[in-house]
A and B are shown apart, each in its own frame.
Chain A
Amino acid sequence: MNGNVLVITSGKGGVGKTTTTANLGTALAMMGKRVVMVDTDIGLRNLDVVMGLENRIVFDIVDVVSGHCKLKQALIKDKRFEGLYLLPAAQTKEKTAVSPSQMKRLSEELKQEYDYVLVDCPAGIEQGFRNAVAGADDALVVATPEVSSVRDADRIIGLLEAAGLTRARLIINRIRPKMVRRGDMMDIEDITEVLAINLIGVVPEDEIIVVSTNRGEPAVTEYTSRAGEAYRRVARRLLGEEVPFMALEYNEGIFYKFRKMLGMAAR
């Protein structure tokens, strides 16, 4: 068995790399795949918190690559889904505690065992980024509909190409359909025109994400969540299915529908 190593990256911070990793990992596991999520944000780890697995960490990625423990000892089994694992980052070390060649070896080892290895990349383009992409077979670039995020994504795509990852795919995150329709937010076409890579997902802004992140329960497990639905679709596309993009027009959520019923909806 030989799995697929996917790095999830963006350049800019705060656009949803970790949320995307957690949700895609969970969605793939829900579909019966064996998945391991690797947090490479050494010193600023988050993925464990978002997954609600923080209190189970004993060993971390630095312990593994430096030989302090076996890989199996550091992997944390998810509490909800069979076949879902997390390799947490170290919090007390720095990015330089791991080298690109060590990451490459680690990825090779992990993909023998798992269908998908999702690598959560830190923000920035320095050593952390170089580590995260070192062992990757493919890349997912997360961008929000903001000029600064798109600019950074463009830079990142260039760096990915230089690293030989030429088939990067784009996830547009936190889009607000109402603002797009008013012309106050970049729309999907504005973004894909600049970045010129294939789009694999459009995730709407969703308050459930905030709640689920704080609770440590990925939103894909929440069937009422629009963002969760969007991530489930991305996961299916990763598996090679043709899935239509969500009609964002309907994306006003329950509140909107309720207010609309009462005739209070804003235009």
Chain B
Amino acid sequence: MVNEDVVINGTNGGILIRLNMAEDFNTMKKQLIEKVRAIDGSLMGSSVEIDIGKKYITRSETAEIAGILAERGLEFIGILGRKGSGPGKPSGQNEQPLLKIQARGQEYKFSQETVTIRRNLRSGQKVEHKGNIVVLGDINPGAEVVAGGNILVMGILRGLAHAGAQGDIYAAVAALRLQPTQLRIANHITRAPDGETVFGGKEPEIAHIKDGRVVIERFKI
């Protein structure tokens, strides 16, 4: 199979995906899904720009692509195109990537927002994001989640979680089952006492800093 219709590149602080829109959209979509799935976990939360070259893309196709990216925890921030491209219909003469300028203005806002991971994170997989991270699944031992903001795990947290990674001492980590190998908030590092394999009990708990120490409390939902 030739995979050249979808090319993924890293850019300064993000990801650029080049799509060859001449190919049938569904074929291309399949390749995109495959390639996006193969993107390294550490890039989750990255912002993604799509370069469609000189071709056209419809609004519904744009929405579909954004959906595919979101599933992998990637944020779609805009479409780049050269002459004759644009959402919906041929737009004409602008050499400048129209949507990119729009996207730039939103970038700051996006990075502060929450990224959602809809799967289990396994050993060796890592998610980093400047804002909050919500995981709809488990975080297994050996997996790492690092957030500038808060971390919410709708599942079992068994791996490593670091909230407030850029120094936010008001950040918190909450999980339906809080059993991390190690828990970090801002510059505090904690682990279960030796001899105890798990932190918590059988109910949702939240960890945050109180009076200069990491405390774990029942998390009332």
Give A contacts to B, CB under 8 Å.
151-152, 154-155, 157-159, 161-164, 194, 196
Contact across chains for B138 and A159 when beta carbons are under 8 A apart: no
Contact across chains for A159 and B124 when beta carbons are under 8 A apart: yes
Measured in the bound complex, the distance between the Cα atoms of B123 and A157 in whole Å is 9
Measured in the bound complex, the distance between the Cα atoms of B142 and A47 in whole Å is 31
Given the known inter-chain contacts A158-B122, A158-B125, please indicate yes or no for A151 contacting B142, CB distance below 8 A: yes
Measured in the bound complex, the distance between the Cα atoms of B140 and A34 in whole Å is 39
Please give, as numbers and ranges, the residues of chain A lying within 8 Å of B125 by CB-CB distance. 158
Contact across chains for B141 and A154 when beta carbons are under 8 A apart: yes
B:189-218 near A, CB below 8 Å: none
Measured in the bound complex, the distance between the Cα atoms of B37 and A194 in whole Å is 21
- Nearest chain B residue, comparing its CB with the CB of A11: B123
Please give, as numbers and ranges, the residues of chain B lying within 8 Å of A151 by CB-CB distance. 123, 141-142
Q: How far is the CB of B39 from chain A (nearest CB, A)?
A: 8
Please give, as numbers and ranges, the residues of chain B lying within 8 Å of A196 by CB-CB distance. 120, 138
Measured in the bound complex, the distance between the Cα atoms of B123 and A152 in whole Å is 8
Contact across chains for A194 and B158 when beta carbons are under 8 A apart: yes
Contact across chains for A162 and B38 when beta carbons are under 8 A apart: yes
Q: Mark B26-52, 1 if CB is under 8 A from A, else 0.
A: 000000001001100100000000000
Please give, as numbers and ranges, the residues of chain A lying within 8 Å of B140 by CB-CB distance. 154, 194
Contact across chains for B142 and A163 when beta carbons are under 8 A apart: no
Q: How far is the CB of A129 from chain B (nearest CB, A)?
A: 13
Please give, as numbers and ranges, the residues of chain B lying within 8 Å of A161 by CB-CB distance. 37, 122
Given the known inter-chain contacts A194-B158, A196-B138, please indicate yes or no for A155 contacting B122, CB distance below 8 A: yes
Measured in the bound complex, the distance between the Cα atoms of B120 and A162 in whole Å is 13
Q: How far is the CB of A196 from chain B (nearest CB, A)?
A: 6
Given the known inter-chain contacts A194-B140, A194-B158, A196-B138, please indicate yes or no for A155 contacting B124, CB distance below 8 A: yes
Please give, as numbers and ranges, the residues of chain A lying within 8 Å of B120 by CB-CB distance. 196
Given the known inter-chain contacts A194-B140, A196-B138, please indicate yes or no for A158 contacting B37, CB distance below 8 A: no
Please give, as numbers and ranges, the residues of chain B lying within 8 Å of A162 by CB-CB distance. 37-38
Measured in the bound complex, the distance between the Cα atoms of B38 and A164 in whole Å is 8
Contact across chains for A154 and B142 when beta carbons are under 8 A apart: yes
Interface centre among A151, A157, A158, A194 (most CB of B within 10 A): A158
Measured in the bound complex, the distance between the Cα atoms of B156 and A196 in whole Å is 12
